[in-house]
Amino acid sequence: MKSKSGILVILLILFGFIMQSCKSCSNSGSDVSEDLVIPDSLMFDTPPPVSQNVTEQMMENISSPVETAALIKGLKIPFNKDFIVSSNQAEKFNTSFDKALALGIYGCDLGYLNMYEKTSFVVDYISTIKRLADDIQVGQFFDFSTLKRLATNNENLDSLVFISQQSFNRIDVYLRETKRDMLSAVIVAGVWAEGAYLTSRVAQESNHPRIRETLGEQKAILGFLLALLKIYEKDPSMHQLIAEIEPIKESFDKVKITYELGDPIMVMENGVATFKQQDKQIVEMDDDTYNTIIKNIQNLRNKLIKL
Amino acid sequence: MRKILIALATVVFIINFMPKQANAQSEEELVQICGMVAGDATYLKDFRIKLDAGDPPPVQRFPILLKKDIKYRFSVCNSKEYEGKVVLQLFDNNRMLATTHIIATGKDYPYIDWVCTKTGAYHLFFTFQDGKEGMAVGLLSMVETL
C-alpha cells in the first residue's frame, strides 16, 4: 500500500514538471519569447560594472524617434526622403552589433516616415526592420503583418505609430531580460545618431532657431548616451563606436546650456489638468561650434551606415 | 520520506496551477486601456507598476528624458484586481512638478498634461494611495509640439 502511494506521489511530481515545461509551448501573450533559442554568439554574459537596474533605467529614455520627427514636422519643415537611409543599405550590416545599430537607425527613420504619414515607404522600411530584428532573434516582437496592413491600407495611422513604438519598447525589454542589454544600448545609439543626423540635415536647410537649439540640447542627451555605452566599452565593437562618437562630444563642449528656474503652474485646458513648466532653457553656441557639430554628426552617421 | 514527497508534489502543483502569466497579460491589457485613456496623444512609453502594501508607501521610480516644446500626457490605469489607486508624480532633480493626485482637493486625474520647456532628465514616481498593494500602468504620450 505504502509503495503504491509513493509511486502515485512520484507520478504527480512528474506530471507537475511536464505541465511546467508545457507552459513554454504556449503561444499566448508574452510567452512567445520563451521558446526561442538564442545562439551563444548573441549572448553577452559579462555583467556590466554598474547595477542592472541603473542600466535599464538609463536605456529606456535616451532617444525617441517620434519626438525628434514631431519636432521637425511641428516647425512646418517638409518631409525629405534624401534624409533617411536607403533600405538597400541594410545588406551591409553583418554582425549582430551592426544589425542592432541598423535597427536603431531604421527605427528612427520609420518614426520620421510615420510622423509624416509616408505610408508608401513604410512597408519597405518595416520589411527591412523585420529582417534585422529576426537576425538578432527579436523579430517576434515586431508585429509585421499588422503594421504592413495598417500601412498598405493607409488606415489608423495612430495605431501604426503605437505598434511601431511598442515593438521597439518590447525589443528593448526582451534584450535586457535575455542578458543582451548591450544590443539594446546599441539600438539606442542608432536611434540617437539617426535622429541627430535628421536634425542636422534640417538645420542646414532651414536654419530655424529652434532646430539650432535642438542640436545644442543634444549635449545633455549625448552625455547620457555615452555613459550608457561606456558600460560595455570592453567589447571591441562598442569601444570603436564610442571612439567614433567622442569627437561629437568634444564639439559639444563649447555649447553652453543655462537654466532659469520657475515654479510650474497648473491650469485646466480643454478640461485637462495641464501643468506648465516655467523653467527657461538657454542654449548658446557660436557658428563655428554649430557647424562643427553638424559636420561631426553627419560624419558619424555616414560611417555607421557604411557609406 | 513520503511526507516530503507529498509536500514537494503540492508545491509543484501550486506553482503550475497558479495563473503565472496573469500579471503580464493584465499589464498588457492595462497598457491598451491606458492608451485609450490618453486619447489622441501619441504613445511613447509605458511603465508597469507593481507594489506591495507598506508604510511608508513603497515607491517605484523611473528616470525619463523629456524635451522642450513638447506637450506630454501622463495617464494612469489601475488594475481592478488590487485595491491600490496609483499616484503619479513628476520630479526634476529635487522639485515635484506635476501629479495626478491633488492633495488639497483630494482629486485624482486619470491623465495630466505637462508642457515641457526644458530638455533633460526627469523622474517619475509611482505610489499607491494609503500604501495599499496595487498594480497599475503609467503611460507617457505626446500631445503636440509647441
Closest-CA residue of B relative to A23 is B16
Q: What is the mean pLDDT of residues A76-93?
A: 90
Q: What is the pLDDT of residue B21?
A: 44
Poorest-confidence range of A5-9, A37-41, B23-27, B81-85?
A: A37-41
A45 falls in which pLDDT band (50, 70, 90)? very low
For residue B2, the distance in angstroms to the closest alpha carbon of chain A comes to 6
Residue A279 lies in a domain: no
Poorest-confidence range of A26-40, A198-212, B120-134?
A: A26-40
Residue A277 lies in a domain: no
pLDDT at A121 over 80: yes
Q: What is the mean pLDDT of residues B44-71?
A: 91
Pairwise pLDDT comparison (A226 vs B21), residue with the higher score: A226
Query: Would you state the cell numbers that stand for residue A100, as one nine-digit string?
Result: 542592432
Other beta carbons less than 10 A from residue A127's beta carbon: 15
Residue A250 lies in a domain: yes
Q: What is the pLDDT of residue A57?
A: 58
Q: What is the pLDDT of residue A60?
A: 58
Walk me through the domains of chain B, giving residue ranges and CATH numbers: 25-145 (2.60.120.380)
Cα–Cα distance, A41 to A59 (Å, whole number): 22
Cα–Cα distance, A238 to A181 (Å, whole number): 12
Whether the ω angle into residue B56 lies within 30 degrees of 0, i.e. cis, is: yes
Q: What is the pLDDT of residue B140?
A: 93
Angle at which helices A96-115 and A236-252 pack, to 10 degrees?
50
Q: Which of A10-24, B27-41, B56-70 has the highest mean predicted lDDT (pLDDT)?
A: B56-70
Secondary element (H or E) of residue B111: strand B111-116
Angle at which helices A157-177 and A181-206 pack, to 10 degrees?
140
pLDDT at B91 over 90: yes
A279 falls in which pLDDT band (50, 70, 90)? very high
Secondary element (H or E) of residue B98: strand B96-99
Which ranges of A116-208 does DSSP label H, i.e. alpha helix?
119-135, 144-152, 157-177, 181-206
CB pairs under 8 A between A and B: 147
B108 falls in which pLDDT band (50, 70, 90)? very high
pLDDT at B12 over 70: no
Q: What is the mean pLDDT of residues A60-80?
A: 82
A16 closest CB neighbour out of B16, B28, B111 = B16
Q: What is the mean pLDDT of residues B112-125?
A: 93
A225 falls in which pLDDT band (50, 70, 90)? confident
What would the pLDDT profile of A174-193 be if each residue is shown by its tens digit? 888 888 888 888 988 999 99
Q: What is the mean pLDDT of residues B24-53?
A: 84
Domain count, chain A: 1
The amino acid that residue A195 corresponds to is G
pLDDT at A27 over 60: no
Q: What is the mean pLDDT of residues B70-85?
A: 93
A239, exposed or middle or buried, with CB in 10 Å at 0-12, 13-18, 19+? middle
What would the pLDDT profile of A148-176 be if each residue is shown by its tens digit? 777 777 666 677 778 887 888 888 888 88
What would the pLDDT profile of A125-134 be if each residue is shown by its tens digit? 988 998 998 9
Distance of CA A177 to the CA centre of its chain: 16
Tell me the average pLDDT of chain A: 79
CB–CB contact A220 B119 (8 Å)? yes
Pairwise pLDDT comparison (A223 vs A65), residue with the higher score: A223
CB–CB contact B67 A67 (8 Å)? yes
Query: Would you state the cell numbers that stand for residue B57, as one nine-digit string?
Result: 508607501
Tell me which residues of chain B, numbers 89 to 128, contact chain A at a CB-CB cutoff of 8 Å. Answer: 90, 95, 97-98, 109, 111-121
Query: Would you state the cell numbers that stand for residue A72, as one nine-digit string?
Result: 521637425
Cα–Cα distance, A234 to A188 (Å, whole number): 18
Residue A261 lies in a domain: no
For residue B112, the distance in angstroms to the closest alpha carbon of chain A comes to 5
Identify all chain A residues contacting B73, using CB atoms and an 8 Å cutoff. 272
Residue A38 lies in a domain: no
Residue A264 lies in a domain: no
CB A137 within 8 A of CB A177: no
In residues, how long is chain B? 146
A280 falls in which pLDDT band (50, 70, 90)? very high
Identify all chain A residues contacting B108, using CB atoms and an 8 Å cutoff. none
φ, ψ for residue A290, nearest 5 deg: -55, -50
Poorest-confidence range of A143-152, A213-222, B54-63, B125-134?
A: A143-152
Pairwise pLDDT comparison (A301 vs A169), residue with the higher score: A301
Q: What is the mean pLDDT of residues B75-93?
A: 92
What would the pLDDT profile of B119-141 be if each residue is shown by its tens digit? 988 999 999 999 999 999 999 99
The amino acid that residue A37 corresponds to is V
Q: What is the pLDDT of residue A13?
A: 53
Q: What is the mean pLDDT of residues B4-25?
A: 48
Q: What is the pLDDT of residue A152?
A: 74
Poorest-confidence range of A53-62, A230-239, A249-258?
A: A53-62
- Whether B39 has its CB under 8 Å from any CB of chain A: the answer is no
For residue A307, the distance in angstroms to the closest alpha carbon of chain B comes to 31
Cα–Cα distance, A282 to A89 (Å, whole number): 38
Burial A2-37 (b: 16+ CB within 10 A, else e): eeeeeeebeebbeebeeeeeeeeeeeeeebebeeee
Domain span at A75: 46-254+287-304
B4 falls in which pLDDT band (50, 70, 90)? low
B7 falls in which pLDDT band (50, 70, 90)? low
pLDDT at A41 over 60: no
